[in-house]
Structure 1
Amino acid sequence: MKAVQFSRFGGPEVLETVEQPTPQPGPGEVLVRVRAAGVNYFETLMRRNLYAVTPELPMVPGVEVAGEIEAVGQGVDAALRGTRAAVPMFAIGRPAGGYAEYLAVEAASVVKLPEGLSFEHAVALLVQGLTALHLVRRSPPRGRTVLVTAAAGGVGSLLLQLARRAGAERVIAVAGGQEKLNVVRDLGADFGVDYCEPGWVARVKDATGGLGADIVYDTVGGAVTKACLDALAPAGELVFGALGRFELKPAELEGMLFRNQSLKGFALLPLLTPEALQADLVELFTLAAAGALTITVGRYRLDQAADAHRALEDRRSTGKVVLVP
């Protein structure tokens, strides 16, 4: 089978397509023919050895796939053959292996896909969909003005829709460039602002009568977080979900105290329990299959993984970046 790996750390050019033996399902496992594999920003950090944990080399990245069950191992119901399913590898202790044509995983870890939901859309609802769902649950937006950073991206595009469904009074979308602003408006944002333009925080303030947003969902970090702090209303809540990119200084945090503002950290993995994981994904899959969630994907062939990484790093991607055969 074909797989994409890196044997040294560096830029996107270190990703190479290689031939590997097709795995065989062991007892309790199924063999999934991968029809779509998700690409995540943290994988670009791993490739550069900038992630929290240094991966062992060579490494085949990828923690989320969707495809068809092609074979089953001992003790697995043979009727599962041909089933369309998604595999949230990141939630079951499988930190790698998704950029490949086949994957052998525990049968209990797969989630069946409803009719009408494509493999690409299913992959978009794994890391990004669960992140958006739990952000809304952790900081309910009902009746409040919310601001979503990277709103045209994989998490942001779903988050602004779920916040709207959860009763947000107003959704402000922050994105880079006119094309992405057009996307977020089509997704239901009340107001879009280009963070590449100077003075964008002032535009947010003007749109909120000088107050700012009651909740800021920040999954970008860095300098964007500092700007979001200026766009946060008194007694507002900054929800920070950009692990590894936190740059607020003690003086800025102290300023939050004087404005009665709160900072809430967000990390997805500790929130995922085996009991709830399947139910959460079924909820997201059902919404998407019914047309209640609009999903945007950028498709690249498996052998174009380097181009997919470049698009993510250069912030040229819209929605979820997906590798297909």
Structure 2
Amino acid sequence: MPDTVKMVRFHKIGGPEVLQFDDLPLPEPGKGEVRLRVRAIGLNRAESMFFHDRYLETPVLPSTNGYEASGIVEAVGPGVDTSWIGKKASTTPAFSLNHYGVYGEVAIVPIHAVAEYPSNLSYEEGTSIWMQYITAYGALIFYGHLSKGDYVIITAASSSVGLAAIEIAKAEGAISIATTRTSVKKAELLAFGADHVIVTDEENLVARVNQITSNQGARLVFDPIGGKGLEALANATAVQGTIFEYGALAMEPTPYPLFTALNKRLIIQGYTLRDILADPIKSQNARKYVFDNLVAGNFKPRIDKTFPFAQIVEAHRYMESNAQIGKIVVTL
């Protein structure tokens, strides 16, 4: 086994071009850790925000990056069951990017962030499940109690998390109202299973939601954008409905829609999947929900495009173009 491995790190803040390949000594797992020989990496918007220094935590330079990878467990540290060695597994985003990162030929991660996935999935599919499905599960199922007949607005619906939310709505018998800025992605969202698609650059969001819901509004809203658009989402939400804000893609202030919230008695809840993954019971239940639905065929991760490891910078540039529908994966 080589004494060194290639790891992708960044030594300054900026765009995708700050990512660089560093040759580092082969790391050994410490207590409670495993070493994964990486076969595929699933990119997430959070990682792009991290090297731009627009994320929930500030990078400590030089910094690793990356939440999701799949591969083979090749070594374990003290306190970890040796039966993990040789198993195919993927990582869940249950760690700080300042402590761990999976952009590399190998990844050291804590054992609590390692999960087996259905054996029929490829490495590319195996690295495209936990972030997106658990994020949607936490808001829609754990907190939102999504049930049959509920209307749910899903913004940024062409993202991997948005697609996961569409699949969860369908699995639960709810009615999904997906939004997209332009009509380019409308047909594919409908083909993927969205019950309704609203093109926000061409249609009035509130009027269309009222038309779809017979003027009742949506009981749940699942939004990673924020910004000024929150007012329209509040107007499209049902009385006593809940809006889950799980991101800040708008990169602008998000005014609180006070009078609409008062009139409708809305819940506007900030949310990240960290709450789910930080609790062993919640995490176990979330993983089981996702695993069972993958096995049942209710969930099938959509991979938009794959890039070789050497082109990880190009993969991130593609992500920042917002052209994708689904997951962008880097393969090794």
Q: Which amino acid aligns with 1:321?
A: I
Deviations 1:98-122 (A, max 9, x none): 1111013344542122210222223
Report if aligned partners of 1:219, 1:241 keep a CA contact under 8 Å in 2.
yes
Is 1:48 the equivalent of 2:52?
yes
Note the residue ranges of structure 2 that are not aligned, 5 or more in a row: none
CA distance in 1, matches of 2:74, 2:9: 23
Which residue pairs with 2:269 in the alignment? 264
Greater displacement, 192-201 / 69-78: 69-78
**Using CA pairs below 8 Å that are at least 6 residues apart, which structure has the higher relative contact order?**
1
Which residue pairs with 1:203 in the alignment? 208
Q: Which amino acid aligns with 2:186?
A: L
Report if aligned partners of 1:33, 1:67 keep a CA contact under 8 Å in 2.
yes
User: CA 1:162–1:17 in structure 2 vs 1: closer, same or farther (change >3 Å)?
Assistant: same
Is 1:175 the equivalent of 2:180?
yes
Which residue pairs with 2:320 in the alignment? 313
CA distance in 1, matches of 2:179, 2:45: 18
Q: Which amino acid aligns with 1:316?
A: A
Which among 107, 128, 139 is matched to residue 135 of structure 1? Answer: 139
Shift of 1:204: 2.7
User: CA 1:235–1:175 in structure 2 vs 1: closer, same or farther (change >3 Å)?
Assistant: same
Spell out the pairing of 1:156-195 with structure 2 (5 A cutoff): 156-168=162-174, 170-195=175-200
Aligned residues: 322
Q: Which amino acid aligns with 1:87?
A: T
1:282 partner SS? helix
**Given the two structures, how large is their TM-score scaled by the length of structure 1?**
0.88
Deviations 1:48-70 (A, max 9, x none): 22224321111121122211112
Report if aligned partners of 2:234, 2:260 keep a CA contact under 8 Å in 1.
no
Shift of 1:28: 4.8
Is 1:70 the equivalent of 2:77?
no
Which among 3, 6, 9 is matched to residue 2 of structure 1? Answer: 6
Which among 86, 91, 94 is matched to residue 91 of structure 1? Answer: 94
Is 1:254 the equivalent of 2:252?
no
Shift of 1:152: 1.7
User: CA 1:75–1:190 in structure 2 vs 1: closer, same or farther (change >3 Å)?
Assistant: closer
Which residue pairs with 2:43 in the alignment? 39
Q: Which amino acid aligns with 2:178?
A: A
CA distance in 2, matches of 1:108, 1:135: 21
Shift of 1:25: 3.0
Report if aligned partners of 2:235, 2:260 keep a CA contact under 8 Å in 1.
no
Q: Which amino acid aligns with 1:58?
A: P
**Given the two structures, how large is their TM-score scaled by the length of structure 2?**
0.87
Shift of 1:74: 5.3
Please tell me the root mean square deviation across aligned C-alpha atoms, in Å: 2.4
Greater displacement, 290-299 / 107-116: 107-116
Shift of 1:257: 0.5
User: CA 1:77–1:260 in structure 2 vs 1: closer, same or farther (change >3 Å)?
Assistant: closer
CA distance in 1, matches of 2:198, 2:328: 23
CA distance in 1, matches of 2:102, 2:227: 29
